[in-house]
Structure 1
Amino acid sequence: MFASIIGTLELFSEEERSRVKGIIINKFRGDLSLFQPGVQWLEERTGIKVLGVVPYVSGHMIEGEDSLSLAKRFANQNRRVIDIAVVKLPYISNYTDVEPFLFEEDVSIRLVSGPDEFGEPDALVIPGTRSTIHDLQQLKNSGLAQKIKAYNETGGTIIGICGGYQMLSRYLYDKAGSDTGVKGRYEEGFNILPVGTTFYHEKKTVRNKGIIHPQSGFPQFFVEGYEIHLGVTELIGPQAVPFMKLSDGTDGAVIDSRRVIGTYFHHIFFNDEFRTEWLNRIRERKGLEKKQVKWLKKEKTKKYEQIARHVQNHIHMDDLLNIIQSWGK
C-alpha cells in the first residue's frame, strides 16, 4: 500500500503531482485502529490528506473489472447441477454478460478455450468480441468450432451475444473492412442461425429496451440492455424469427423452439424474468424443478445503497466535497 501510493506520486511530474488533492485507501483488511500511525505517516510524507480508509466489502455484487477477475470468480465456484460453458475468445469483450449466473444457486459457469475443455454442458454462451472474424478463425483453427457445430447438431442450447451472434451466421462479410481491416473480406460462419452479417463503417452504441418478440416462443417480458457493435445481422431464411421487438425494429434471431438464440443485446441475462425463463427450460429438460424469479436487480440496487453508506461512513465527505467544489477556482 505504501509503495503503491509513494511510488505513484514519485513518478508524477511536478504539475501532475500538484493535481493530487487527496488519498483514499480501498479494500482495507484488518483492524483500522492499528493503521492510524500509517495514515499519519502518509500525510507527513506526502503533504496530502488521507480522505479515508475503506474496509473491504464482500458480496458487493459489483461487476468484475476485467476478464481475469471474472475467470477467477468462475474458477472458485463449486460444480453445480446446471453446467454453462462460456467460450473464452482471444478478443473477448463485455464478459460481464454472464455474471448474473454467479448468483443462481444451481448454476456453475466455466470458461472454455479449447475442444478438450468443452465437455457436455447444459448450455453454451458465445460472448462478445472486439474482432469477430479473427476470433471465429481461431475457433476453427483450434477445433473448438467443430465442437460447437456438433453440440448444435445434437440439440444443445446455445446463445450468441453480439460477436457471438455474428459467428452463428451463415456468412460474415466485411464490406467496409471495419472488422478485419480488409475490405470485402468474406468468412463462413457456423451456419447455425439463418442470418447473414455485414460489417459497415458505422458503429452502433446505444442503450436500448423492448419486449421479447411474440413469435419467439418466450413470454413477452420487458428487457433492457445496451448495444455496441460494428455490423448488421439480418434474417435470411424463414426458419428464424426475431428475438426482440424494439421501438425501431427488431433484434436477434431464434430457432428450434428457443433452443438457439442470437442477440446484439449485452446484459440480456441481467433481465431477471428472461434469465429465469431461459434457465427453467434447461431445468425442465434435466428433470429438475423450475425456480421462481431471483430478483437480482433489486438485490443489486440494495447492495449499492449499502456500499454508498459504507463509503460515506469511512471517508471525510466534507473534505471530499470541498475538493470537488473548489476544483478549477
Structure 2
Amino acid sequence: MKAIMIQGTASDVGKSVLCTALCRILANDGYRVAPFKSQNMALNSYVTQDGGEIGRAQGVQAEAAKIHATTDMNPILLKPTGNMVSEVILHGKPFAHMDAVSYRENFVEQVMPEVRKSLRRLEAQYDVLVLEGAGSPAEINLKSRDIANMRMAHETDAAVILVADIERGGVFASIVGTLMLLDDEERARVKGIVINKFRGMKELLDSGIDWLEDYTGIQVLGVIPYFDVQIEAEDSMALSSLRLKRPQRQEFDIDVAVIRFPLISNFTDLDPLFEEPDVGVRFVSSLKDLKNPDVIILPGTKNTIEDYVWLQETGLAQEILQQSQKGKKMIGICSGYQMLGESIVDNRTVENEGATYSTLDLLPIKTMLVDENQSTQIKGTNYAGQKMTGFAFYLGCSTPTQPIQSFICTEDGRQDGVYTEQVIGTYLHGVFQNRPFTRKYFNQIRVAKGLAEVTGEIHSDYDRREQAYEMLERHVRKYLNMNKIYELLDASM
C-alpha cells in the first residue's frame, strides 16, 4: 500500500486541511484514497453511516476522498471531559473514561493491535493512505508513548512531510528545532517540508528556503499561500483565529451570540451562519460580551453539568433569562438543549446518582444523564415540513413535562427536540447545515426587524462542501510539488 504522512511542527499548522487537499487531489487523479489518524483528540465529531464516532477531520477528509467514512480511519478518539480526563472512543464506540497517566502508561500499548487491524482493513480496500499526525512529533516528554506520529509512519512505511505555519513567526526555527529533536531513524523519514499560510512576496522567502534546504538536506515541496477556504476545523484552537465572513464591518443587521463553553464541542454546527447574509456571529464567554443579541445559541459541550455550573458562575445564565424575557430568540443544541430545560438529573456514576440541577426552564423538558453515549445519523422532517439531516449523541434522554411541538420527526418515527416561536432545542448536530431551515429561520428575524427577506437559490450544504474541496484542491495543487509527492508514494511501496 502507498502511504504518505503529514506531520506538523505544532498544532493548528494546517495538517488537517493539507490532508483534505491531498485526499481530493489523489481522488481526482483516479486513486482509491483513504485518510487515517490513529489517535485524535477533538471535541468536533463525525458520525459514520453505521453510527460510529470519529474525529471531524477524518470525516471531512473521507468526503474529500469521495468515500464514506468508517471508524477504521480514526480508531481512537479522545474527547476531553475536564480535569485531565478524556472519554476514549474505540472503533467508534465509547470504551472508557481515563486520566492522562492511565491512558499513556496502561492503554496505549494495549490498543496498538486494534490500530493495526484498522490499517490492514484499509490496506485491503484502498490504493493510497494519507496519514495525519497529531501536534508535533518532537514532544520529547511524550515520544515514548506517541502512537499518532512517527510510530504510524514506521507502521505504514510512509514518507513524512513536515508542515510549518509561517503566520506564527519563527518558521525556520520551528522546522529546524523539530528535526533536531527527532532521532536518526525518524529524521530519515522526513522527505519534504511545506511552509503553510504564507502571505506576501515569495521572492522575499527564497533565500531562507535555500538556506533551509542546504542546512537540513530536505527539499521544500511547497510554500502554500494563506487560503480562506470553508473547510470545517478540527478543534477549538481554531476558534481563537476564527475570522468573520466580512471582518471589515463592525455591525450586522442580525447579531448572534454563541456561548463559548469551556468544553464546547461540535462548534462546526455554527459554520453556515458565517455565510448567511447580514448575520454576525460572536463567541461569548463573559457577561460583558453578551450585550444585546437577536439570537443566543447554546452549542454542544462535552460536560453538560460542569459547563452549566460555569454558565451560572459567570452570570450568563441569569442574563440569558433576562434576554429571554425581552423576547430574544434562543437555540440550544445537544447539551445546550438540555440546559434550556427545567432540570437535569445526573445518573452517570454511583457517586452522582440522582443529583439534580435546576436549569434555565425555558423549555418544558427534564433530562436524565446516564453513562452510555449513543451516536446516530438522523433524517427527518421539522415542524415546518422541511427535510432535515445530521447526527446526534445521546448521553441520556430528555422527556417533555407537558405537550410540546417537536422540532423534528425522524424517518423511524422518533421525536426530537422542542419548537416554540421563541426557543428551539434539539439534539441534531448539523442543524444549520440544513440551509433551507437556516434561511427561513433568519428571514423570520429579518421580517420582525423590518428588514427585507433574503431570496434566491439556496445551495445544499453538500454542494457547498464539494465546491470548497475543489477550490482547496486547485489551490494546493498549484503550490505543492505533486511530482515529488508521487515519487515518494511510489517509493513507499
Shorter-normalised TM range: 0.7 to 0.9
Is the partner of 1:121 in helix, strand or coil?
A: coil
Deviations 1:180-237 (A, max 9, x none): x73332211212111221222222233x232333xx2x2x222222324523223332
| Structure 2 counterpart of 1:60 | 229
- The Cα shift of 1:174 comes to 1.6
- The equivalent position to 1:150 in structure 2, one of 318, 322, 331, is 322
Q: Equivalent of 2:278, from 106, 119, 125?
A: 106
Among candidates 269, 277, 285, match of residue 440 of structure 2: 277
What letter is aligned with 1:323? L
* 2:268 matched residue in structure 1: 96
Provide the residue aligned with 1:193 in structure 2.
363
Corresponding residue number in structure 1 for 2:420: 256
Q: Verify the 8 A CA contact 2:344 2:367 in the aligned structure 1.
A: yes
Offset at 1:134?
0.8
Provide, for residues 76-127 of structure 1, a one-character-per-residue CA deviation record: whole Å limited to 9, x for no partner: 4521111111112222222222222222231112223233333322111011
User: Offset of 1:294 from its aligned partner?
Assistant: 4.5
Instruction: State the Cα deviation string for residues 262-304 of structure 1 (Å, max 9, x = none).
Output: 1112221122111101101111111211112553733443232
**Counterpart residue number, 1:319:** 484
TM-score by length of 1: 0.87
In structure 2, give the amino acid aligned to 1:242: S
Indicate yes or no: 2:379 matched with 1:210.
yes
Q: Could you tell me how far apart the structure 2 residues matched to 1:197 and 1:150 are?
A: 23
The more displaced of 4-13 and 245-254 is 245-254
1:41 to 211, 227, 231: 211
Deviations 1:152-194 (A, max 9, x none): 233221100111011112221121239xx73332211212111
* Residues 243 and 250 in structure 1, CA contact (< 8 A), matched pair in contact too: no
Cα distance change on mapping 1:286 and 1:200 into 2, 3 Å: same
Counterpart code for 1:227: A
Structure 1 segments of 4+ aligned residues over 4 angstroms from their partners: 74-77
Cα distance change, pair 37–264 in 1 and its aligned pair in 2 (3 A): same
Structure 2 distance, partners of 1:252, 1:6, is 52
The CA deviation at 1:42 is 2.3
Q: 1:9 aligns with which of 174, 179, 188?
A: 179
Of 455, 461, 473, the match for 1:308: 473
Q: SS of the residue aligned with 2:414?
A: strand
**Counterpart AA for 2:214:** E
**Whole-Å separation in 2 of the counterparts to 1:243 and 1:51:** 50
Query: Which amino acid is 1:39 matched to?
Result: I
Question: 1:316 Cα shift?
Answer: 1.8
Q: What letter matches 2:406 in structure 1?
A: P
The partner residue of 2:256 within 40, 65, 84 is: 84
Q: 1:29 to 1:241 in 2, by over 3 A?
A: same
Structure 2 runs not aligned, ≥5 long: 1-170
Aligned match of 1:19 in 181, 189, 201?
Answer: 189
In the other structure, the counterpart of 2:429 is: 266
- Aligned partners of 2:419 and 2:425 also within 8 Å: no
Task: Find the partner of 1:32 among 192, 202, 206.
Answer: 202
**From 452, 464, 469, the counterpart of 1:289:** 452
Which residue identity does 2:319 align to in structure 1? K
Rounded to whole Å, the distance in 2 between the matches of 1:151 and 1:11 is 53
Task: Quote the offset at 1:311 in angstroms.
Answer: 0.9
Q: 1:132 to 1:31 in 2, by over 3 A?
A: same
* 1:118 maps onto 2:290 in alignment: yes
Give the corresponding residue for 2:26: none
Cα gap change, 1:131 to 1:10, in 2 (>3 Å): same
CA distance in 1, matches of 2:437, 2:426: 13
- Amino acid paired to 2:368: T
Partner of 2:74: none
Q: 1-side partners of 2:289 and 2:200: how far apart?
A: 39
Q: Give aligned pairs, total.
A: 318
Distance 1:209 1:245 in 2: 10
Residue pair 1:78, 1:108 contacting (<8 A) in 2 also: no
**Cα distance in structure 2, aligned partners of 1:326 and 1:204:** 42
Q: Does 1:243 align with 2:407?
A: yes
1:183 equivalenced with 2:346 (yes/no): no
Q: How far apart, CA to CA, are the structure 2 residues paired with 1:175 and 1:306?
A: 47
* In structure 1, distance between residues paired with 2:253 and 2:272: 16
Scaled by the length of structure 2, the TM-score of the pair is 0.59
Matched-pair contact (CA < 8 Å) for 2:365–2:401:
yes
> Residue type matched to 1:138 in 2?
W
Between 67-76 and 285-294, the greater mean CA deviation after superposition: 67-76
1:232 match: secondary structure: strand
Cα distance in 1 for residues equivalent to 2:330 and 2:381: 17
Match of 2:124 in 1: none
Aligned residue runs from structure 1 range 219-234, under 5 A: 220-234=385-399
Deviation at 1:3, TM superposition (A): 0.9
3-state secondary structure, aligned to 1:117: helix
